[in-house]
Structure 1
Amino acid sequence: MGAREVGLPTVVESREDLPREVTIWEVGPRDGLQNESSVVPVEIKLEFLDRLADAGLRVLEATSFVHPKWVPQLADAEELLAGLRRRDGVRYPVLVPNERGLGRALAAGVRHIAVFGSATESFARRNLNRGLDEQFAMFEPVVGRARAEGLDVRGYLSMCFGDPWEGAVPAEQVVAVGRRLLDMGCAQLSLGDTIGVATAGQVQAVLAAFRDAGVPVDALAVHFHDTYGQALANTLTALRAGVSTVDSSAGGLGGCPYAESATGNLATEDLVWMLDGLGIRHGVDLDVLVGTSAWMATRLGRPSPSRVVRALSG
């Protein structure tokens, strides 16, 4: 049964306090699959990317050039990019952890990259083996060379709302670290709720702190995990603050291999259902997307955590 057959909730006109259009930054092929206990064959990954493009998604984070020792699920990055059927109008960013990773990305013809930083000392130590300030020494040559080569660079900032070792993270600290990434040359900053503890009030406070620091809202994106069931509420709060780029993962796949309490990302299908009800344009065919996530769930051998996928494909 398709989405149109069951009837969507009443669609309202997109109000002045909401964006008219949202860019969905699909992270399922990278962030979604990197946390799998077994390696997904590259042929399945390539079909997944193809199906996501068929659904109308225009930003597909394809893979990561992190060392295979740390994320063996993405050790096939070169093979995947060599076999990728690129579509006109679709971006395929990749995560690049360091200069060696950037060299691999450039050799593979990548045009859009992302670096992954931390808003806290504890997570920077565990994820990057560097301190909060030391991480920038690793990012600066990567961002500088990427910009010189004409690449678009995104900055991910993890632990923006809570850290399992440090607790709640002050908004001022998040802004200070985030501004360094933007000042370094990142065109966009994605604010990550890595362990899924954020509430709407925290989201409002962090975005207000960036606004008060002079950071334009169109330079910000949000990346929520659904550990406490707050991802959609937090997304709506961000939309009302003017954010118009939202990270999500098809079928709700993903987590964080370095944060054991992190559960899946916001499901792209759940996001699309909400955007449809708000009258916000996004360009995604929900039925095709649901079919894609149901297909991937069978390949992974377990049901999709997305409520919309379960409702429309059950």
Structure 2
Amino acid sequence: MAAVRKAVPLRLVGLASLRAVSTSTMGALPKQVKIVEVGPRDGLQNEKNIVPTPVKVKLIHMLSEAGLPVIEATSFVSPKWVPQMADHAEVLKSIQRFPGISYPVLTPNLRGFQTAVASGAREVSIFGAASELFTKKNINCSIEESFQHFDSILKAAQADGILVRGYVSCVLGCPYEGKISPAKVAEMGVSVVDSSVAGLGGCPYARGASGNLATEDLVYMLAGLGIHTGVNLQKLLEAGTFICQALNRKTSSKVAQATCKL
């Protein structure tokens, strides 16, 4: 049977706000946090220059060696809308799957799901948003209509024995609507966090979006709080350096920047 995993991508949290965690809340923090690395997909999807498939595959392998438990490998969307992901089938077939690591792929609709499964996907991700306007801009439908799309994918996944991971965007704010009412989302007990190596990516359609939380910064912060992630920070930094050199750009990770200065 398909298993739906609820996770919240915390993409708008800055290091400054993280320092404000008071000692009174420390007891409520989880002992362990699962990090979902979205760099190979969300991090690269809006790069102007097409990233060669071997570079994407090597990045995934380096992230695997760093011990990240979940790595979103690619997206099965129409190349017309996201040309960067046109090699999705080749990427999925080329990666070496490390034991104990999941490699979900994003499937925005039933057609994408079917293509992903035919290409060897064992787990897929579906995405919604807490913002009506973002949902309309991003996938051209309402929140309610997006649930209907999810239903068809969930039924197909259940029939094929494919795991499904669901997550919600814009839980802390929307570049179109602004503040999101807390009543729309659940923030209690969150222990699965999405982040992107080197802070790459963010929605290509949302002007003014702050981008993704850098995985290096997240790992560093959690380690400082005594929260286990199982991620090797040094290997993660190496993966960030590799992809930034390949893209000819600077990292957005504060930890990586500080390491370079040292």
**TM, length-normalised to structure 2:** 0.86
- 1:82-134 residue CA offsets vs partner (Å, 9 max, x unmatched): 11111111100010011100101110121111112232322222211212322
Structure 1: stretches of 5+ with no match in the other structure: 1-11, 176-205, 208-240
1:91-170 map, 5 Å: 91-170=102-181
CA distance in 1 between counterparts of 2:195 and 2:176 reads: 25
Report deviation, 1:29: 0.6
Aligned residues: 238
Report deviation, 1:15: 5.2
1:280 maps onto 2:231 in alignment? no
Give the letter aligned to residue 98 of structure 1. N
User: 2:14 corresponds to which residue?
Assistant: none
Structure 2: stretches of 5+ with no match in the other structure: 1-22
Give the letter aligned to residue 81 of structure 1. L
Please point out which of 244, 253, 257 is paired with 2:191: 244
- 1:276-297 residue CA offsets vs partner (Å, 9 max, x unmatched): 1111111111111111111211
Greater displacement, 259-268 / 47-56: 259-268
Cα RMSD over matched residues? 1.8
Where relative contact order (Cα < 8 A, 6+ residues apart) is larger, the structure is: 2
User: 1:87 corresponds to which residue?
Assistant: 98
Change (3 A) 1:115 1:252: same
Identity of matched residues, %: 49
SS in 1 for 2:222: helix
Give the letter aligned to residue 120 of structure 2. G
1:65 maps onto 2:76 in alignment? yes
Please point out which of 289, 296, 306 is paired with 2:236: 289
- 1:124-145 residue CA offsets vs partner (Å, 9 max, x unmatched): 2221121232222222111111
1:31 maps onto 2:39 in alignment? no
CA distance in 2 between counterparts of 1:271 and 1:304 reads: 14
Does structure 2 retain, via aligned residues, the 8 Å contact 1:93–1:114?
A: yes
CA distance in 1 between counterparts of 2:180 and 2:222 reads: 29
Please point out which of 27, 31, 53 is paired with 1:42: 53
CA distance in 2 between counterparts of 1:94 and 1:244 reads: 21
**TM, length-normalised to structure 1:** 0.72
CA distance in 2 between counterparts of 1:21 and 1:39 reads: 36
